[in-house]
A and B are shown apart, each in its own frame.
Chain A
């Protein structure tokens, strides 16, 4: 049975004539035990989609079933037990301590016993909040607060876990450990849907949907998406001249032939449409040479978004010309 089933699911905000189609018409099936990533630029509609799945925001069209339940139907109460949501913005109790916040959420979910204790300890260790249990939440650093909020939500083990950017502001070691925990969850049969602005996290999902302006523009396992990138990915092997990287970066960012560029260690990497390699190489003459590089998820993302923007611009231009 599918764990999450969305059928032409969509949501508008605002009234005519300025309706904002936050989510267009999305159909999607996520099997139990899948770690599914929703990846897209700001404002793509990821949070709106998650909130509909969680039963917090009624759809304008279509339907959603979570573990067979309609979160807006008669069994809505049951849906709340099945679904766990970690929202992007958190509301912990600032005047409660770290430990008291955890206890509060354990009570809320009706959790007791050894399982709770083991899980609580594990979460305190992953978040490195163990030594700070007595500190008030309002006195935590930004990332510590975020980790506490995620830990509180992970205390109970829902069948379906929806996480909206759980690792914003979280440091690299903790991010890794949180992902290891998510792997354990899905191996135990939990279904996890996660949004993230970190492209390395996108590649850790079983499948990802690339979302833009309320629609899925691609949906596949991340490696398959990377392999499908039909453009040349090149590393700029920098010449040993002063400020080579700064100058090369400026050239690349100004070049209309470069679809996307990103830092690659001390150097940089560019994506160009096939056939344009020699022209770009000429622009970089004296600063570096181009060597083929393995594509990454970030290349794919930047390229997909840049192409959509380019297409949107040229269609507006066409409309204006007509």
Chain B
């Protein structure tokens, strides 16, 4: 049996005339890693603040760990951990002192407090840094400490709002190891990110466009729905400049620059790898160095689902 950690029904939030979140419904299961993606301003943080009991909804309702967010926000706060986009640690305190401070907020003290501080340090792999001043920690470790603070009172659900913004790939990898660990131990993880490779770790993903939830599914299902067809990756010279010509090639659905190459998506019912390759290689001023078939990424999904047109449609259609 699956247990629902979070149940959201028709949730909405207005600021004056502006609708930041409109009529959002979904649920998250216990222990699931649920990813919440969307363009800047799509309403991710606003949703999280409502589900954390920090901001009142203006419509709809939600149950978090069984508590109604509008009727029992304090119970909600006690059952969740929250790492905000601008998380706050006390830079003039040491790592240990920061955790002790958090523990104090949740009413923990004495031996129980110091035991829990040690456990938390262990779980975020920062025991050796306990006496280090927080100001001296690089960004990636501060983030880990913020996660430790959010998990301090062993909440069944954590909300992580862009926990890895600005963190280098090696530290991000470490951070996600921790996230997967807490999820397999049964904690529900609700996470936002702008790193599409991280989103691959989520069991399911909700995609927000201008306050509306436009898609919700597993990463694999989102890819086959939003970016059907086959994708060839090209590397070489002159490709980015030739994008508009590539887009006009027969059978090509889309062409976009991706890192140091371009991704060309086409309909295999209308053309083949060989003819797309030949057409691109024949373009003037293009030199192809490498071609390989690639899998669609969540970035492709994001670009297909959350483009400007989609944004305008939601804003224009629903107001």
A-to-B contact residues, CB < 8 Å? 40-43, 88, 128, 131-132, 139-144, 146-147, 165, 168-176, 197-200, 203-204, 222-223, 246, 249, 253, 260-267, 294, 296-298, 301-302, 305-306
Contact = CB atoms under 8 A, between A and B. Distances in A.
A173 B306 contact: yes
Which residue among A170, A173, A267, A306 has the maximum number of chain B CB atoms within 10 Å of its CB? A173
B195 to A, nearest CB: 8
A298 B195 CA distance: 13
5 contacts: A42-B171, A88-B166, A169-B162, A171-B302, A297-B260
A171 B171 contact: no
A172 B299 contact: yes
Contacts of B172: 197
B45 A142 contact: yes
Interface of B: 15, 38-42, 44-46, 85-86, 138-141, 162, 165-173, 177, 180, 194-198, 200-201, 219-220, 257-260, 290, 292, 294-297, 299, 302-303, 306-308, 311, 315
Given A143-B41, A174-B39, A305 B306 contact: no
Contacts of A297: 259-260
Contacts of A200: 258-259
Contacts of A246: 180
Contact of A173 (B171, B197, B201, B307): B307
A168 B40 contact: no
A172 B220 contact: no
A294 B290 contact: yes
Given A172-B302, A197-B167, A294-B290, A143 B194 contact: yes
Nearest to B256: A176
Contacts of B294: 265
Which residue among B292, B299, B307, B315 has the maximum number of chain A CB atoms within 10 Å of its CB? B299
B166 A41 contact: no
A222 B260 CA distance: 9
The 4 closest A-B pairs by CB, nearest first: A143-B40, A42-B138, A43-B138, A203-B260
Nearest to B141: A42
Contact of B197 (A203, A253, A263, A294): A263
Given A41-B170, A41-B171, A143-B40, A266 B200 contact: yes
Given A142-B165, A204-B260, A261-B173, 10 more contacts: A41-B168, A42-B141, A128-B308, A168-B165, A171-B40, A171-B302, A173-B306, A174-B39, A197-B169, A267-B295
B259 to A, nearest CB: 4
A167 to B, nearest CB: 9
A152 B2 CA distance: 49
A168 B172 CA distance: 13
A265 B168 contact: no
Contacts of A40: 168
